[in-house]
Amino acid sequence: MDSEALSRLDRLIWVIVAMVAVVVITAPLMSHFQIGWDTFIAPALACTILSAGSRFYSRWRRDPRLASGLLCTAQVIAFAAVGAPLSYIAASANAPLWDHGLDMIDRALGLDWKGLLAWMNASPAIYALLRPIYLSLTLQMTTVVLCLAFSGRFLWLRVYTLAFIIAVLISIAVSAVLPAAGAWPYYGLAGADLQIVPAVSPSWPVFYGLRDGTFRLLVAVGSEGIITFPSVHAALAVIVVVTLWPIAIVRWVFLVLNAAMLAATPIDGSHYFVDVLAGIALALLSLLLAQSIAARVASPAPHAREIAQGAG
């Protein structure tokens, strides 16, 4: 693998992270937002240590697998830290809510969100199984980095990182124009309506506060997921499966895990079914864009074939 091709991709990823960071940092200059600097300390420290470790294993004690694994983990953490507050800025645009339209699409497709909720409440064992899988996304994303790095798929690892970044950026842009509160508040459900599934999400006060101006704090650690359409969980579930598919020993495990995650997303994520469908489409688009970008940046042609095959 041409180390210069990887370096070009890494520089591109860091440039994107830096551009998003600039938007977040300058937001208080043009609005009433404030930055919770203390929430950025842990991600910044982690990225510094990981990047230093990557540099060590790429220059002094050469181990390309460790070097790539450490660096790409730093990239994912760094983007997640600046991407979350960017979604807060997008929500503050306070565009009209689209919950009614999303609900209408679900109904037109013959999909019944309340029916799924009733089934979940009647099947507590299934809900108990699905909930930790829904919450496993961060662990899964870290596992993807390690699997790709230690299997030597260095170029494909950068495609995965780019696909993650593209999916999140597109979802943030869409959420600014087509915001939605989510199924739970739209249907007006409360704890009295339920048996097993919890009805209270800490993200809703933040979401509504961003819209009405009463919440204006940009945070990294402790940020809430406030994007309804498209579902970022659904998009990343598909990205994880596709990027790990070339590794036969783990592909079926992650396919089953993320099929379960897609099943859990409407209830646990307060998503309409159309959010999940849009998330799947977003994942495929992001992967195609990531492969195209990587093929151009990491030319010559042999690298393009490696990207297409998912091999590094």
Whether omega before 230 lies within 30 degrees of 0, making that bond cis, reads yes
The residue with tokens 């961060």 is 138
Contact 197, 121 (CB under 8 A): yes
Over residues 235-246, mean pLDDT: 96
> Which DSSP string corresponds to 91-160?
HTT-PPP-HHHHHHHHHHTT--HHHHHHHHHH-HHHHHHHHHHHTTHHHHHHHHHHHHHHTT-HHHHHHH
Measured N-to-C along each axis, helices 3-30 and 273-297 cross at an angle, to the nearest 10 degrees, of 130
SS3 34: strand
**What confidence score (pLDDT) does residue 312 get?**
47
| Residue 309: HSE in the Cβ half-sphere, 13 Å Cα cutoff | 10
Residue-wise pLDDT for 122-133, tens only, equals 888 888 888 899
11-47 pLDDT tens trace:
999 999 999 999 999 999 999 999 999 999 999 999 9
275 contacts 102 by C-beta, under 8 angstroms: yes
* Dihedral in degrees, nearest 10, Cα atoms 252, 253, 254, 260: 100
Lowest-confidence segment of 78-87, 190-199, 281-290 by average pLDDT:
190-199
Question: Is residue 306 within a helix (H) or strand (E), and if so which, with residue range?
Answer: helix 301-309
In 3D space, the residue among 82, 117, 83 whose CA is nearest the CA of residue 191 turns out to be: 117
Mean pLDDT of 226-246: 96
Please determine, for residue 235, whether its predicted confidence score (pLDDT) is greater than 90: yes
Tallying the residues shown for the chain, one arrives at 312
pLDDT per residue as tens digits for the range 63-114: 999 999 999 999 999 999 999 999 999 999 999 999 999 999 999 999 999 9
Rounded to whole angstroms, how far apart are CA atoms 258 and 272?
18
- SS3 category, 217: strand
Helix (H, G, I), strand (E, B) or coil at 227: coil
Strands (E), 204-275: 217-218
Domain spans of the chain, in order of start: 3-309
Return the pLDDT at 5: 86
pLDDT averaged over every residue in the chain? 91
pLDDT at residue 218 greater than cutoff 60: yes
- Displacement of CA 45 from its chain's centroid (Å): 21
